[in-house]
Structure 1
Amino acid sequence: MKDLISHQLIKYLENRGVEHIFGLCGHTNIAVLSALEKSSIKFINTRHEQIAAHIADGYARAKKETAVVLSHLGPGLTNAATGVANAALDSIPMVVIAGDVPSHYYGKHPHQEVNLHADGSQYEIYRPFVKRAWRVDRPDLFPEIIEKAFQLAESGNPGPVLVSVPMDIFSKEIDTTLFERLDHNTKSLHKPTIDEETAKTIIKTLINASKPLFYVGGGIMLADAAEELRELVDHLSIPVAHSLMGKGAVSDDNPLTLGMTGFWGTKFINDKCKEADYILALGTRFAEADSSSWESEYTFNFPPTKLIQIDIEPSEIGRNYPVEIGVVADLKQALTVLNRVAKELVPNGLQNDELKQEIIANREEFKNSNLKYITDNSFPMKPQRILEEVREVLPRDAYITTDVGWNKNGVGQQFPIYEAGTVLTPGGFATMGFGAPAALGAKIAQPDKVVVSLVGDGGFGQNPAVLATAAEENIPVVWVIMNNNAFGTIAGLEKAHFGTTFGTLFKKDGETYSPDFAQIAKAYGVEGVKIQSAEEFKPALKQAIESNKPVVIDVQMQNIPTPTSGHWNIMDIYSPNKKVHHVAVES
């Protein structure tokens, strides 16, 4: 039996359980769109390919499944590149299917082709950041390529892949048995675990250590291993610190949770890491900001601290610090074994009440240090008060997305997360423009959960057309725009080190300028609220959530820096030996 590849592709995706595709039309992919019209798969139409990629990214994180993006060639593919790269650096599984120039026109430079160095080579644009990029050169190869694409995206350290398809191939017929034979191939690979002997060595080492510590990253969420981690933490009474991406792996109200390390970590948390004699690192790459630029006087000090590291990706083990025991394994599988061994060796578990009380006391001390900001009635609002009131209004299992700046750094430092995987943030790429569309993806993936996006005015201004998709699909996300009329974090850096804010503040004719985001929302058919006083914010947020509609809340915020006692070497590059960080900027 013969059928068009475009039709067989949609049937394949349906059989694979794909429920949504995110993208934007173009003349190279409308054969696929026409096949989607009567499919059970819902196509989420966007106004910009970067928006599509970020929505897909948020969807994959919240649903714990591979997301699918449909793109046009050339400018469509390059528009999507930032969102796909963001997913890549946070290890988010994604399959990008992109139309390409007709195969019979290779060498003629057809419409919208990028070919300055080679013909038919648009897929190479993605090579630096996807796990693999394929160009489909023959119709009969397409079935096995799309199968390999999903398998690679989901296996090992997950991440995006690209399948670039010449538009004529979408419209070619193929023998359907080539797709049917894929039904016999497994769609889920068994993942490596840890052997019993190594697990016993690790547990005995931790038991005998004087100041052991767990350090966890986003790999815990990718492996869906938070419950196994919490079980081990509680059984052994070992404190847990985390990277930005590891926030929420163990609830922020667990008495053994220290918090985020590095530049935006507190001195208490960083000192606990530095003083540890053994650290078990799980699913983390020890990124620069989380590790205080790897300078031993601030956060981690290997040696004398000794490191045990478990990761699904071999290249991450020992990348930045020497490792005493390194294990390549799936974290869920490894933690299952470690829990079993821990209960065999220490049936009644360990207690460390003194440490728990110390952590709780420090948590209270930090909260009290912020009270003057949290209770400040001034307007524009203090960012600490905005975060505090958002947390008070949201249910424990609500999803939060952040962008970059105060919303990301402040959330990492002082916004409690209670359920693993419910804070979605652009970690590796720190992409401005991620938070607003990622919230749509999270809500599509988890329609019964409250989803709020905390985003700056700079970040929301990157892609306000996200509101068109929200209106068309009636996706009830609430965007809280923390508006300081600036690229605030960078303004504070430039002012502190160079005495100027050139290029960082939003001004018109010398006066502070900001679009009216509430009115912009209304123009898109979305409810918009412009906050006029600090007292208005919390009731407005509650009402927005209860409305079960997409709502934009524009709240003016004072442009003050996220407090930090940590270290990042960029400060020494700007101002050597001066210990300068950020300053507040009047915007």
Structure 2
Amino acid sequence: MKKLVSHQLVDYLERRGVEHVFGLCGHTVIAMLDPLKYAKLKFISVRHEQLAAHAADAYARVTKKASVVLCHLGPGLTNAATGVANASLDSVPMVVIAGDVPSFYYGKHPHQEVNMHADGAQYEIYRPFVKRAWRVDRAELFPEILDKAFRLAESGRPGPVLISVPMDMFSREIETSHFERTYHDSHTTVKPALPKETAVEIAKILIEAKKPVIHAGGQLVPTGASEELTALVDFLDIPVTRTLMAQGAIADTHPLHVGMTGFWGTNFVNGISSNVDVILGVGTRFAEADSSSWYNNVTFSMKTKFLQIDLDPAEIGRNYPVAIGAVADPKQALKAILEAAKELKPEGIDRPELRKEIAEYKAVFKASNKEISEDNRFPMTPQRILKDVREVFPEDGIIATDVGWNKNGMGQQFDITQPGTILHPGGLATMGFGPAAVLGAKLAAPDKKVITLVGDGGFGTNPSVMATAVEYNIPVVWVVMNNYAFGTIAGLEASHYHHSFGTLFKKPDGSPYNPEWAEVAKAYGIKSKRIASAEEFKAAFQEALDANEPYLLDVPMENIPVPTDGIWNINDIYTPKENVVEGKLMYGEATKSKHVSTK
């Protein structure tokens, strides 16, 4: 029996449990729109392909399964590229199915073909940031490629893959028997476990260490390792530092959770992680921002013994030499280490003084923010916005951040207690992620409250997200933290060059300018409110949450930089210091006095 490839593809996606496909039409994918019209799964049509990729990114983070993006060739591919690259750097599984030029027109410059360096090769645009890019040259091979694509996207270190489909392939009829293999192929891949002897060796090192730390990375949340991490931490009384992307892997309120390290980490947190004898890094790349640009003795020290567990062998020892490096699933690895620790030291370890020290630090830190967090001045302080949101928003609700205070400040000052409830654009740090991500997150978790905190710069990149929310009745809340600027860059530029050229939104006469976002939202058919005082915000936010429909709050905010106790080499590039030579990593002594801060 023969059926159109497009219809068999939709059937395949439904059998995999795919419930939503995110995308945008184009002449190369019209053949897919026909079966999608009658499908059980839902096609979420957006007004720009980058929005489809960001929504699919968040959808995958919440469901913990590969999401699907459908896009057109040429500008469809390039528009989606930023969102797909964001998913790649944040290790999010995604399958991008893109239409392509007809297979019999390769190299003839058919409409919208990109072939400057090779014929029929525009799918190679994605090579730098996808795990693999396929082109379907024979329709009969499509089923096998689909199974490979989903398996690769979800296994190892997860990430996006691309399947480029010449438009004539969608419209070909092939025997249904070619899809028979997909009925028998397992949809899951067993992740590697940590060998028992390695678990025992790591447990022994942690037990014998005088000052150990577990440094948690972004892989812990998607692999479901939070329970295992917390159990190991409690048993051995080991403090935990974390990356931005690991927020929620252990409750920010846990007595052994110290905080986020690196540039946006505090002196106390970086002081803990740089003065230990053993660090167990789990699911982290020890990336630049989390490691204070790898300056010695700032966040981490070369005197420390590094142990590293990661799903990707390429990350082992990339930035710090390791005494033990293991490729393993974080959840299974932490479970094995805990079992070994219980055999080696059944009574566990108790460090009451350490817990007391962490508790005192947290109390002092919160007290230092109390005045500005309760300040009634207007425009509001970002700290006041975060405080009011935390007091109203349910702990199991999902928050998508963007770039600026809503990401860096949230990672530093906003307590997350449940894994998977905070979605950061960490690796690529893409402005415009949050407004679209909430759409995917809400579709994946319809029973949860879902919001984004986003700067006016980030929201302004593509406000057409509001059209999609209305068309599909997706009840999310956008909180636009409006400081009339690309605030983070404005602060960075001002600290080094003493002006803010190119970073402030203003009219020719110099007065601040922005669209009236509340009025723009109303034009899209969305409920909205522009906040007029600090006292008004909390009640308005509660109203937006209770509305059960798309809602936008335009919140004027003072441009206060996020406090930065750590070090980032960009500061030394802009204002060179005596111990920095052409950006070389300095493994000698680094001192705070030789570096500037963007406080």
Q: TM-score, normalised by structure 2?
A: 0.96
Q: Which residue number in structure 1 is paired with residue 515 of structure 2? A: 515
AA partner of residue 198 (structure 2)? T
- The answer to whether the aligner puts 1:536 opposite 2:536 as a matched pair is yes
- Please state whether the residue corresponding to 1:427 is helix, strand or coil: coil
Q: Which residue number in structure 1 is paired with residue 245 of structure 2? A: 245
Give deviations 1:290-342, integer Å, cap 9, x for gaps: 0000001310002x110110011001010000000111111112122112222
- Please state whether the residue corresponding to 1:512 is helix, strand or coil: coil
Q: Which residue number in structure 2 is paired with residue 218 of structure 1? A: 218
Give deviations 1:230-269, integer Å, cap 9, x for gaps: 1111111100000010111100110000010000000000
Give deviations 1:358-384, integer Å, cap 9, x for gaps: 111100100111112111111000110
Q: Distance in 2 between matches of 1:116 and 1:199?
A: 52
1:99-118 to 2 correspondence within 5 Å?
A: 99-118=99-118
Tell whether the 8 Å contact from 2:565 to 2:597 is kept in structure 1 after alignment.
no
Identity of aligned residues (%): 63
Q: Which residue number in structure 1 is paired with residue 146 of structure 2? A: 146
- Please state whether the residue corresponding to 1:220 is helix, strand or coil: coil
AA partner of residue 450 (structure 2)? V
Q: Distance in 2 between matches of 1:327 and 1:265?
A: 27
- Please state whether the residue corresponding to 1:88 is helix, strand or coil: helix
Q: Distance in 2 between matches of 1:540 and 1:124?
A: 47
- The answer to whether the aligner puts 1:402 opposite 2:413 as a matched pair is no
* Displacement of 1:346: 2.5
Give deviations 1:405-431, integer Å, cap 9, x for gaps: 111110010000000121101111000
Give deviations 1:513-568, integer Å, cap 9, x for gaps: 01111111111111111000000100000111011111110000001110111110
* Displacement of 1:182: 1.9
Unmatched 5+ residue regions in structure 2? 578-593
Q: Which residue number in structure 2 is paired with residue 413 of structure 1? A: 412
Q: Which residue number in structure 1 is paired with residue 170 of structure 2? A: 170
- Please state whether the residue corresponding to 1:29 is helix, strand or coil: helix
* Displacement of 1:347: 2.4
Q: Distance in 1 between matches of 2:374 and 2:185?
A: 59
Q: Which residue number in structure 1 is paired with residue 318 of structure 2? A: 319
Q: Distance in 1 between matches of 2:57 and 2:454?
A: 16
Tell whether the 8 Å contact from 2:131 to 2:152 is kept in structure 1 after alignment.
yes
Tell whether the 8 Å contact from 1:244 to 1:290 is kept in structure 2 after alignment.
yes
- The answer to whether the aligner puts 1:471 opposite 2:487 as a matched pair is no
Q: Distance in 2 between matches of 1:335 and 1:582?
A: 37
Unmatched 5+ residue regions in structure 1? none
Q: Distance in 2 between matches of 1:353 and 1:339?
A: 20
Measured on the aligned residues, the alpha-carbon RMSD in Å equals 0.9
- Please state whether the residue corresponding to 2:231 is helix, strand or coil: helix
Q: Which residue number in structure 1 is paired with residue 448 of structure 2? A: 449
AA partner of residue 460 (structure 1)? F
* Displacement of 1:147: 1.0
Deviation larger for 47-56 or 180-189: 180-189
* Displacement of 1:222: 2.3
Tell whether the 8 Å contact from 1:54 to 1:434 is kept in structure 2 after alignment.
yes
Give deviations 1:82-131, integer Å, cap 9, x for gaps: 00000000010000000000011112100111111111111000000000
How many residues align? The count is 582
- Please state whether the residue corresponding to 1:255 is helix, strand or coil: coil
1:421-440 to 2 correspondence within 5 Å?
A: 421-440=420-439
Give deviations 1:124-169, integer Å, cap 9, x for gaps: 0000000000111111111111111001101111100000000000
- The answer to whether the aligner puts 1:158 opposite 2:158 as a matched pair is yes
* Displacement of 1:344: 2.0
Q: Which residue number in structure 2 is paired with residue 132 of structure 1? A: 132
Tell whether the 8 Å contact from 1:273 to 1:300 is kept in structure 2 after alignment.
yes
- The answer to whether the aligner puts 1:491 opposite 2:464 as a matched pair is no
Tell whether the 8 Å contact from 1:493 to 1:581 is kept in structure 2 after alignment.
no
AA partner of residue 525 (structure 1)? G
AA partner of residue 471 (structure 1)? V
Q: 2:595 aligns with which of 565, 570, 579?
A: 579
1:292-311 to 2 correspondence within 5 Å?
A: 292-302=292-302, 304-311=303-310
Q: Distance in 1 between matches of 2:358 and 2:140?
A: 60
- Please state whether the residue corresponding to 2:504 is helix, strand or coil: coil
1:179-194 to 2 correspondence within 5 Å?
A: 179-194=179-194
* Displacement of 1:474: 1.1
Q: Distance in 1 between matches of 2:263 and 2:356?
A: 25
Q: Which residue number in structure 2 is paired with residue 69 of structure 1? A: 69
AA partner of residue 299 (structure 1)? T
Q: Distance in 1 between matches of 2:455 and 2:388?
A: 17
AA partner of residue 598 (structure 2)? H
Q: Distance in 2 between matches of 1:456 and 1:321?
A: 35
1:354-373 to 2 correspondence within 5 Å?
A: 354-373=353-372
Q: Which residue number in structure 1 is paired with residue 586 of structure 2? A: none
Q: TM-score, normalised by structure 1?
A: 0.98
Q: Which residue number in structure 2 is paired with residue 11 of structure 1? A: 11
